[in-house]
Every structure is written in C-alpha cells, then in structure tokens.
Structure 1
Amino acid sequence: MTYTNQYKFNKELKIECEKCFGLCCVALYFSSSEGFPTNKNAGEPCINLQSDFTCSVHNNLRNKGLKGCTAYDCLGAGQKVAQITFGGHDWRQAPESANQMFEAFLIMRQLHEMLWYLTQALSLQTDHGTKVEISSLLDNTERLTLLDVDSLLALDVAAHRTKVNIHLKNTSELVRSKFRNEKNNPSRNRKANLRRLDYFGADLRKTDLRGADLRGVCLIAADLKGVDLSGADLIGADLRDADLSGANLTNSIFLTQAQLNTTKGNSHTKLPMMLERPNCWSK
C-alpha cells in the first residue's frame, strides 16, 4: 500500500472563495459579539454578501473590527460543496436545494478538518503499521467528501470523528513525548501532566510549553511572546488575541490557519510550513 499524497491534500484544503457560493456567509450562525457584522441566523445571508457571492467589505474587515470574518477558514469545504456536491449550481439558482447545501457545507467543513489533522498525523507518525492505518483513514475520509448530497447528510460524522480522534491522540502522545524529555527532567513533566484548561490573559513567557498538551485550552489574550511551542498539541486551543510575537511554532502540531488568524504575531514568529503569516501581524 502506498501512502496518501500529502501535497494533494495540502492543496485541496486551501480556501478558494471564487469557486464557492458564499456558503460561510450564509450557512453559519453569526453573533456581533464574536466579531461578525451583526447577529445572523443560520441560513440567512450576511448583510455584506453581494449578488456575485463576494463580500462588499472584504478589504476592510480588520478596520471594521470583524475578527470573526477574518479568522474563519473552511479548509476548502466551500468549493467542494459548491463545485462537486452540487455541480456548480448555487443556492440562488436552485433555492429549493438551499437548505441541503447549507447542511452539507457544515458536514463537509468537519470532514475537511479531519483531513487536515490526519494529513499532519500521517507526516508525524514513524510506525509503518500506524502510517498505513492513517493513510487508509485519510482515503476513506476523502471518499466521504465525494458522496452525493443525500448520503452526505445521512453520514454519522460523530462516529467517523471518533475513529480519527484515536489516531490524533496517539500521534499527539508520540510527538509530545519527544519534547518532554522525561528522563532528563522528570520534575518538569510531573507539572506538565497537571493539565490546566484556562490560561486567559496569562503571562506564559517563562513557562516551558515544549511538548505541552494544550488541546482545547483557553489561551485568549495569553502572552506567549518568545515561547517555544515545539511539540505542543494545539488542537482546538482558543488562541484569540494571544500574542505569539517571536514564538516558535515550527514544530507545534494540529494548529490551523483559522486559529492563527485570531492571534497577534510578527515577522519573528516561526510557523509550520503549511500555514501562512496573517496579513494583520506587525512587522
């Protein structure tokens, strides 16, 4: 068995808004308190969505304080639903299928997120047998993204995510153990194992976070300037307004562009190869 082509997934998981129908601007629930233009119900178009599915204020999102819009990343799910699942027929042309399209987008976004994490897990694993299993799961997940709309809507996403999470957790432990250096500094690792979930506004500049388990941790407005996050698992971590100036995230794992887009950083921040430096960051 050959391993899945990682380059293919890296390309497919990049957003191409020009191939989408503004699905994130319609299908999602918005709250003005979370950095969106106004409160909006799911299935209701954003007030800034134009007839050609472009955003009328796209170039001024940051200036308008619309952090929710700048942070969101569908990981390519929008164009997949628009061009593959619905064959290029948009919800305005076929309003009778609008609700199905919006529901399909929410499911596709989850599947593409799993593809993102599994692609990284595949590159990080060293055990041949485990790599084969992850590769097979990647291929299976991709096949699910190509289902017809009825089959996609009937999919048990939670059950599939459970299978994915097993491999993500095992890969996380493998990578983090390399950076925890348990034999040379056992006392440090005993502290690291006492998982704290809330670091809101915390000054972490002197905290050793190499190989840390930061899954789902609140790091809102945390001071991470110059911190080495090598081997740290950031899956689901809330990094809104966290200051990553000069931080080293090169070898951090399971970080997404959407998470990164909510942070502060500068030209000295080191990033994983698959992620791009947000335009809003300082020099």
Structure 2
Amino acid sequence: MARPMLRRENPHPEQMQAFRISCADCYGYCCTALCFFKTDGFPMDKPAETPCRNLEPDFRCRVHDQLSSRGWKGCRAYDCLGAGQAAARLYRKDWREAPGTASEQFTVFLTLCRLRQIGWHLVEALQLLPAKPLWAALEAQLAENQRLAGQPAGALIGLDLSAHQAQVNPLLKQAAALTMQAAGGGKRCADGIGKRFRGELSGMDFSLALLIAANFSGCTFYGINLLGADLREADFSDSDLRGAFFLTQGQLNAAKGNRNTRLPEGLSHPSHWD
C-alpha cells in the first residue's frame, strides 16, 4: 500500500536560489567573524572577528581544496545559506578597505545568518502537506522574515530577533509534529551517537539529537525530523533522505554519504562524498 505523500511542490522556489552560497561575492565573513574551536572540527582555536590564517587578500581560502586532509572539517561543513553575499551587498567597501566598519559588517552577517536559517525552515515547513492548517501562519512569518532581512545595514545592527523567533519556533514544532504523526510515528531519539540504524525509519523525532558517527547507510527516511541534529560523521551512504525534513546543507556537509544517497529537493551532494 502506497504511503501518503508528505510534501508538495515548493511554493517559494526563488527562496531556494537565494539560499545558495556564492563565496566569490562575499568578503570572507565566515573566515573572520566566526570563532573556531578544535572540538568543532578545526585544527586550531580562533577568536571571533580575527581572520583565519588561510584567508587570502582576495578573500579566497588558501587550502580550500584540502580542507579535509588538513583537518578543517568545520570549514567544510559550514554553509551560511547565502548570508555572506547578502551582507557584502550592503557595503561598498569590504572590511579590509574600511576597517572602521569591520565589527559592524560581521554583526550584520551574523544577523543575516540567523534570518536565513529561520527562512530555510519556514520555506521547508510550507512544503509539508500535513502542516496545511499552518500554511497561512507560516506564510505570514516568512513575509516578516523577508522584511527583516531586507532592511539596510543600520537597521540590522542590534536587531533583536527574539520576538520573531518566538513566533516561528512553535509553528515549526507544530509542523514537525503533524508531519511525524502523518508518518505514523513521533518516537523521540535524542542520543544515537555511533548507533547503527537499519531499514525504513518512519516518523521519528531526531530534532537536536546527537547522531555523531551514527550509521544510517541503506536506510529510508519517511517523515523524519532532523531539525538541529548533530550529524557530524554520520553515514548516509546508499540511504534515501527524501522523506526527511528540516535538514540543511550544513548538516549534510558534516556527514558522510555517496552518490547513491538520495536527497530532498534543494540540497546537494557535498563534494567530499564518495
């Protein structure tokens, strides 16, 4: 018996294009604004607002094609969802040309990162058929998210997103609950570190779960919530992730897989996958 479909066609395809990173149009914000920690997949610690030692004058990475072999897995995994180029468009000069604006530019970048993350999940929630009763409210929050992100740099500095996040979070939780219920599940798994999963996984809640080095090879996902799950070194080789939701490119970049791994629309196979 065929299972009910859980997704409709993306009502906002233009948003998915905006979420694609364009490092060539960025001022190396992720290499500078963010702090690095060895525990997060970097070979060294680095304080925030300090350029990475590998950042070239043209904002390209000196070791970009050797990130894995040199131990820069944190860089390999990172995806700003297009916040970098969006922040750069707000400034006529980069932070090296105008060092007095450096902290401001980094703050704007980080704010746009949060807004892009919120926007990504809202767009995905609007594709979930079981969440249809929430679509109007989700559309309203997406419009608000776009309004906030479209403000000039001065308005983004010091922008408090707590009220917006407080409106969005319950909607995402409800959308997830409805979708997992439609998939016949809702079982919670908070800790799957190194665990071997097999076969078809239906309606499971992996949100914020620790799934480091978990083995999902050959599994089929149906109505699986992966919101905020830690997927570092998790293996999705030969698996079918098309039925997973709230999955991001950054999570995939931190995981393992191969060209046989089937992905939801809008996500790409990381270059380091077999």
Counterpart of 1:249 in structure 2 is 241
After TM superposition, the structure 1 = structure 2 runs for residues 127-276 of structure 1, keeping only pairs within 5 Å, are 130-180=134-184, 189=185, 193=187, 195-205=188-198, 209-276=201-268
Query: Is the Cα contact below 8 Å between 1:125 and 1:171 reproduced in 2?
Result: no
Would the aligned equivalents of 2:248 and 2:267 in 1 still touch at CA under 8 Å? Answer: yes
For structure 2, the 5+ residue unaligned runs are: 1-9
SS in 1 for 2:244: coil
Contact 2:208–2:226 at 8 Å: present in 1 too? yes
Q: Are 1:40 and 2:33 an aligned pair?
A: no
Per-residue deviation, 1:72:
0.1
Query: Within 2, Cα distance between the matches of 1:75 and 1:33?
Result: 23
Instruction: Give the direction of change, closer, same or farther, for the CA distance of 1:56–1:275 in structure 2 (3 Å limit).
Output: same
Q: How far has the Cα of 1:126 moved from its partner?
A: 5.5
Q: Which moved more, 1:66-75 or 1:169-178?
A: 169-178
Distance in 2 of aligned mates of 1:233 and 1:135? 20
Aligned mates of 1:68, 1:139 — CA distance in 2: 32
Output the TM-score relative to the length of structure 2.
Answer: 0.91
Number of residues paired by the alignment? Answer: 265
Name the CA distance, whole Å, in 2 between partners of 1:217 and 1:143: 31
Give the C-alpha shift of residue 133 in structure 1: 2.0
Identity of aligned residues (%): 40
Secondary structure of 1:79's counterpart equals helix
CA distance in 2, matches of 1:61, 1:117: 28
AA paired with 1:27? Answer: A
Match of 1:111 in 2: 115
Report the Cα offset of residue 122 of structure 1: 1.1
Match of 2:18 in 1: 12
Alpha-carbon displacement from aligned partner over 1:69-115 (angstroms, at most 9, x marks no partner): 100000000111111x32x3211111111101111111110000011
Give, in angstroms, the shift of residue 179 of structure 1: 1.2
Q: 210-219 or 156-165: which moved more?
A: 156-165
**What residue is the counterpart of 1:65 in the other structure?**
71
Q: How far did 1:35 drift?
A: 2.2
Alignment match, 1:184 = none
- Across the aligned residues of Structure 1 and Structure 2, the Cα RMSD in angstroms comes to 1.7
Q: Structure 2 residue aligned with 1:52, among 31, 54, 58?
A: 58
Which ranges of structure 1 fall in alignment gaps of 5 or more residues?
Answer: 181-188
Q: Evaluate the alpha carbon distance shift between residue 128 and residue 264 of structure 1 in structure 2; reply closer, same or farther with a 3 A threshold.
A: closer
Residue 146 of structure 1: CA displacement?
Answer: 1.6
User: TM-score scaled to structure 1, two decimals?
Assistant: 0.89
Q: Offset at 1:52?
A: 0.6
Q: Provide the secondary structure at the position in 2 that maps to 1:96.
A: helix
